[in-house]
Amino acid sequence: MNHTGTNPPSNPKTNVVAIVPARYDSVRLPGKALLEIDGKPMICRVVERALAARNVARAIVATDDARIVEAVRLAGFEAVMTSPAHRSGTDRIAEVAASLANADTIVNVQGDEPLISPFTIERAVEALTDDAHAGIVTTWEPMESVTDVLNPDVVKIVMDDDGRAVYFSRSPVPYPRDAVRRHGTLEAALENQPGLLAAFRKHPGLYVYRREVLLQFARWPQSELEQLESLEQLRALEHGVKIKAIQASAPSIGVDTIADLEQVRSRVAAEMAS
């Protein structure tokens, strides 16, 4: 299966719509949606990746900034202005999804994931189709380092034996109690028992929703756990929504810093040269 960053024709046989939430303001990297990667705004590269998934019919950027709308439309893609009052990207995509009566599956592709695998998106959509009990499908990646385990900006996911999400946290979960007692600290335990790293899974933040679940989710008030962890997917779990988690086909890089951006630029340059 050959997936590229090109924009294939839309597939009229599917009713799957990818919505990419994008803000101009970013605390750590202002204007990052429009930062160029090999001559293209980052947000446009995300849209290209979403459209390269063969079961995605449309990709729409949802933003509250006219500069992003202009850049996306200039590149030939769809963009809509949404309310500036939204508290989260999910609320923003729900506003757009509410107007898409013919769509029954909504893919939330983060606007700062320009290297997301189209195959990962395809498989996540298929997983929702195949699991009648799941309201949401998301993805996970293996944890790559001790630093990631200890970093609160790297979200962890805990799953049951059926691949359903049990909890999401910024803390290192599950907590290897006996190993920590043996070595004194979690960091020492992970350094001395490298096999422990496999117990942790990274949650990169791709979501595929049944449209009705997404619209209902946006109407629920923020939950206490959600506010404590600053993780809105906990709201869905607390309301009993089944979240299926599949392993991503390839690791992605969320762009939050200049270092992330340079890493992505190097990867894209290498892809273009190969």
Looking at the domain assignment, is residue 176 inside a domain?
yes
Q: Is residue 181 part of a domain?
A: yes
Token pair listed for 269: 């340059």
- Backbone angle region of 85, left / alpha / beta, with phi > 0 → left and psi within -120 to 50 → alpha: alpha
- Cα(96)–Cα(91) distance, integer angstroms: 9
Amino acid at 67: R
Whether 261 maps to a domain, the answer reads no
Q: Could you tell me if 229 and 169 are in contact, meaning their C-beta atoms sit under 8 angstroms apart?
A: yes
> How many domains does the chain fold into?
2
Assigned token pair, 17: 């719509």
Are 44 and 72 a contacting pair, CB within 8 Å?
A: yes
Below-50 pLDDT ranges, the chain:
1-13
- pLDDT, position 98: 97
Angle between helices 118-130 and 42-51 (to 10 degrees): 50
In the listed set 87, 113, 139, which residue is the last one of a domain according to the structure? 113
pLDDT value of position 2? 39
Task: Residue 268: count other Cβ atoms within 10 Å of its Cβ.
Answer: 18
Q: Can you tell me whether residue 210 is helix, strand or coil?
A: strand
165 and 89 in a single domain? The answer is no
Gap between the Cα atoms of 180 and 147, Å rounded: 16
pLDDT score recorded for residue 14: 66
Read off the CATH number of the domain in which 40 is found: 3.90.550.10
Are the CB atoms for 137 and 159 separated by under 8 Å? no
108 shares its domain with 162? no
Residue 6: the pLDDT is 40
For the record, the structure tokens of 247 come out as 């392993």
In a domain, 260, yes or no: no
> Per the confidence metrics, is the pTM higher than 0.85?
yes
Tokens 């990667």 belong to residue? 37
Q: Is 199 exposed, middle or buried (0-12, 13-18, 19+ CB in 10 A)?
A: middle
Largest distance between two CA atoms of the chain: 59
At 9 the pLDDT is 43
- Whether residue 240 lies inside any domain: the answer is yes
pLDDT value for 43:
97
**Distance between CA atoms of 127 and 178, rounded to whole angstroms?**
35
Residues 245 and 121 in one domain: yes
State the amino acid at position 214 in one-letter form: L
- pLDDT per residue as tens digits for the range 176-207: 999 999 999 999 999 999 999 999 999 998 99
The answer as to whether 246 is a domain residue is yes
Distance CA 55, CA 94 (A): 20
Q: Name the DSSP class of 164.
A: B
pLDDT at res. 4 = 40
